[in-house]
Amino acid sequence: MTMYELITKKKLGQALTTTEVNWLIENYTSGKIPDYQMSALLMAICLKGMTDQETTDLTMAMAMSGDTLDLTRNLGANTIDKHSTGGVGDKTTLIVAPIIAALGLPVAKMSGRGLGHTGGTVDKLESIPGFNTEMPTDTFLNIVKKHGICVTGQSGNMAPADKKIYALRDVTATVDSIPLIAASIMSKKIAAGAEHILLDVKTGSGAFMKDLPSAKKLAEAMVAIGKGCGRKTAALITDMSQPLGNAIGNSLEIKEVVQVLQNCENSPQDLVDVCVELSAEMLHLVDFGDMDFCRAKVKEVLANGQALDKFAEMVCAQGGDSSYVTSPEKFKTAKHIKEIYATETGYVREFDTEGVGIAALLLGAGRQTATDVIDYAAGIVLHAKIGTRVEKGEPIATLYTNKQETIQAAAEKFVSCVSFAETQPQLPNLIHQRV
């Protein structure tokens, strides 16, 4: 077996066998296959695609290329994981995880950092003073056993083949391949060890998948992989045509998380509704009950404060100062604040949501490169969403930053991302489809 043969086979549109895929990943991870040959194969996959079996084989080979967890052996059969494909203002994990844990199911969650216009769950948690997201696996599992919940960064040696291949895809124009995207995401989920997996696939201007057909293809591919790997898997396709909730930026989003967990009446309804639906789907996936029962239980632990208590317990267990949960006003406010005003009277019609994320990035809320340092206080708070009626000159957003030199550029970027209409537009569906 040679790499030349595999490249030729895929160039002709033929399927690679399980043995061939395993050989490919083992030898590329160990450095025996050069980048230029893997690049050729990745381009052939982009052009010719992969079968469901090939994609499942690729996922499993990448998942087994490094460290793996067996959560069932450590935590029992009802282990469940959630993955979001990312977006602007997406802080759902920080609401959903405490809800699920408050209802007695173990949540052992490994999350990522943000890069580009999308935020990272780990960065948001690290805006809480003292919060630790890096720990040995034994410590991670012991926290889950004792407290029912732990959210950490991804293991440095989890799915190393995926890390190596993704870095190559990023510079060879081979990122936009459904089989490769699906295998990349699912390899980390399989390695993380949960028996049940719920996928939150975002679609819209702030998502990787900009349109519903593309999002559906990705969701279907990932669900097929999960089932092919013996994991009970489902997906919800949710909206990212505008930022989720009102807050964008790390400590600003933690404040909004606490607001939702406190069951405040003025919590952003879109964020609440999406989190209730995701939580109920996770419960349903582990046979907790029918969807109506699951939704009722989710709302119950939000209303009685148990989900908030579980979030505070997690913060404390991971070294964080839980007083920031009970008193979120303790978070430092950025030195420089700028209001953004409506440029005309009418209704907010549309957001370029990716552009809004870039505006937050300019303020310091995210990273353009992996080595950039985040300003936890930086970000944006929206005062108007799609369908909101505004008067010209009325505040529609507030920008926060400690980088005075970029605030004007961020403001100009944000203004260019919002459009208005004389008549009220149709509100976007929050949940597009279940797969």
Residues catalogued as catalytic = 83, 162, 169, 184, 188
The answer to whether 347 and 424 are in contact (CB under 8 A) is: yes
The DSSP secondary-structure symbol of 376 reads T
Q: How far apart are CA 248 and CA 262, in angstroms?
A: 19
Contacts of 253 (CB under 8 A, 6+ apart): 89, 91, 94, 119, 124, 245, 247, 379
Which tokens sit at 336?
């420089």
Contacts of 233 (CB under 8 A, 6+ apart): 196, 197, 198, 199, 222, 223, 225, 226, 227
Q: How far apart are CA 216 and CA 209, in angstroms?
A: 9
Q: How far apart are CA 84 and CA 236, in angstroms?
A: 10
Long-range contacts of 288-295 (CB under 8 A, 24+ apart): 288/103, 288/105
Query: Smallest Cα–Cα separation from 361: which of 120, 63, 11, 162?
Result: 120
Which residue type does 318 have? Q
The answer to whether 430 and 274 are in contact (CB under 8 A) is: yes
Q: How far apart are CA 38 and CA 30, in angstroms?
A: 13
What kind and span of H or E run contains 149? strand 149-153
Angle between helix axes 160-171 and 52-63 (nearest 10 degrees) is: 120
The answer to whether 228 and 56 are in contact (CB under 8 A) is: yes
DSSP β-bridge partners for residue 201? 237
Q: How many CB atoms lie within 10 A of CB 411?
A: 18
